[in-house]
Structure 1
Amino acid sequence: MKKILVLFFALNCILLQAQKTTKIGYIDMDYILTKVPEYAEAKNQLEQKASAWKQEIETKKNEINKLKQSLSTDKVLLTKELISEKEEEIKNLEKDLLDYQQKRFGPQGDLILQKSALIKPIQDQIFNIVQDIAVKRNYDFIFDKSSDLTMLFTAERFDISDFVLKELARAGKKVELSKKQQKVQDQKDIKEFDDKENPEAVKKEKEKEEKNQATKEERERKIQERKDLIAAKKKEAEEKRAAIIKEREENRQKLIEEQKAKKEALKNKKP
């Protein structure tokens, strides 16, 4: 019934907001708590206590069962008065055991009370952070997925649990930021929110960046090809020039040798 009322209230609020854009988000309190180190440590200590209490209960049960077994075995040897006394003793022990179980694990028992005391400070802190996010990001509704409200479908982009965890971590570090650092951090937070809430826009932006990168790489490839072509032509021209110079030098050397040979031949012909 409670779930139906909460759901009805939520739907009614949404219909009232139908004339304007309604912004909705949700958190998963169970998920958040599992990521908080202080809660995990305290929960572990509480579970150890609960385990010890269960062991005490089991010990008491075994003692009562032994008394019952002993009474059943010795009943034929006992008087009615002794039997009544032992049965009354067992009855009182069973009542004490039931009271102890209620004390430890009942609706108002130690386990519930200590768990509530453990969770409440963290829940209060989370509540304050959620309130702050709601104001900054203009949310109309923020629900708790792990509460009595049954959420049949939840789009992941509306989940702000990780943003709440980040704020919890910052609060735990107690780091004072300068105005400039705070501004940078706020801008970063805004972008993270926008990216999460608008996956299609992020996808388009990524595709645009990839296209720009491909265009840039293609341009750089063409520039490099042009540079390589120029370098190849320059190398070819240098090789031709070197070949021409070499050929000229060889021809010059050949001509010198021919002239030298002619001189020697003329010299040898003289009487």
Structure 2
Amino acid sequence: MRKLVSLLVLTLGFFASQAQTTTASVKIGYADVDYIFSQMPEAKQIDSDLKATQTMLKNQIEGKAQEFQKKLQDYNANLNTMLDAVRQNTERELQQMQQNLEKLQQDAQTTIQNKQTQLMEPVYKKVGKAIEDVAKENGFTFVLNQQIGGLDVILYGDEKMDVSDLVLKKMGVTPAPKPEAKAGTPPKQ
């Protein structure tokens, strides 16, 4: 990931130097996409929908796990008195229940990921369009994301180049005050 960030910085530096030699100037801004998402009204609804889906799936998994545990306890309690045919049938049944439970857990993960993608796709498009509009309206050549995968992409950024609030205003959202800068975020001037 550090190689990717280094490559991105070098590439932008190259393009910026090339652009400066061929054009008047390059204007680069950055946006804190996580901050933008957190300020959007849709964020609360998406979070609520995801939590509801997680709770529903968790309840289903817990119900199946309880069934499995009860069947296992019955099996262990009656093991000494069971006929071989009944024991083998119960063992197959327990094994199948365990496999079904594992599959249910995997399917739940996939369902949550798909739900998140489904809910976030229109928000990503909305934010992307707003960033594009803000960049064009304010003459930015590039707008970078402040962080990618938890790593800072912007090692230093003049606060005047942060277009996050402009993007929110473009989407009709009144920005709330930003939290104080965390360690590792670009210094604000």
Task: Give the TM-score range, shorter chain.
Answer: 0.7 to 0.9
Residue of structure 2 in register with 1:135 after alignment:
136
Q: Say which one has the larger Rg.
A: 1
Letter in 2 for 1:155: G
Query: Which residue of 160, 163, 168 corresponds with 2:163?
Result: 160
Letter in 2 for 1:161: S
Structure 1 Cα separation of the partners of residues 39 and 158 of structure 2 = 18
What RMSD, in angstroms, separates the aligned Cα atoms of the two structures? 2.4
Kept in 2: contact 1:64–1:90 (CA 8 A):
yes
1:76 aligns with 2:80: yes
Residue of structure 2 in register with 1:51 after alignment:
55
| 1:97/1:124 CA distance change after superposition, 3 Å | same
Residue of structure 2 in register with 1:94 after alignment:
98
Kept in 2: contact 1:27–1:159 (CA 8 A):
yes
Residue of structure 1 in register with 2:9 after alignment:
10
Q: Percent identity?
A: 23
Asked which structure has the greater RCO (Cα within 8 Å, sep 6+), the reply is 2
Structure 2 Cα separation of the partners of residues 145 and 58 of structure 1 = 40
| 1:5/1:146 CA distance change after superposition, 3 Å | closer
Structure 2 Cα separation of the partners of residues 40 and 112 of structure 1 = 17
Letter in 1 for 2:48: N
Secondary structure of the equivalent of 2:30? strand
TM-score (norm 1): 0.56
Residue of structure 2 in register with 1:118 after alignment:
119
Spell out, residue by residue over 1:35-57, the C-alpha distance to the aligned partner (whole angstroms, 9 max, x if none): 11133123202211211211211
Secondary structure of the equivalent of 1:169? coil
Structure 1 Cα separation of the partners of residues 156 and 74 of structure 2 = 59
Unaligned segments of structure 1, at least 5 residues: 171-198, 201-271
Structure 2 Cα separation of the partners of residues 64 and 159 of structure 1 = 54
| 1:80/1:39 CA distance change after superposition, 3 Å | same
Secondary structure of the equivalent of 1:142? strand
Residue of structure 2 in register with 1:207 after alignment:
none
Structure 2 Cα separation of the partners of residues 46 and 75 of structure 1 = 43
Shift of 1:112: 1.0
Structure 2 Cα separation of the partners of residues 117 and 100 of structure 1 = 20
Kept in 2: contact 1:6–1:149 (CA 8 A):
no
Structure 1 Cα separation of the partners of residues 71 and 158 of structure 2 = 58
Shift of 1:154: 4.7
Kept in 1: contact 2:75–2:90 (CA 8 A):
yes
Kept in 1: contact 2:29–2:140 (CA 8 A):
yes
Structure 2 Cα separation of the partners of residues 126 and 43 of structure 1 = 17
Structure 2 Cα separation of the partners of residues 28 and 80 of structure 1 = 65
| 1:41/1:149 CA distance change after superposition, 3 Å | closer
1:169 aligns with 2:157: no
Kept in 2: contact 1:39–1:118 (CA 8 A):
no
| 1:146/1:85 CA distance change after superposition, 3 Å | farther
Kept in 1: contact 2:16–2:26 (CA 8 A):
yes
Shift of 1:10: 3.3
TM-score (norm 2): 0.77
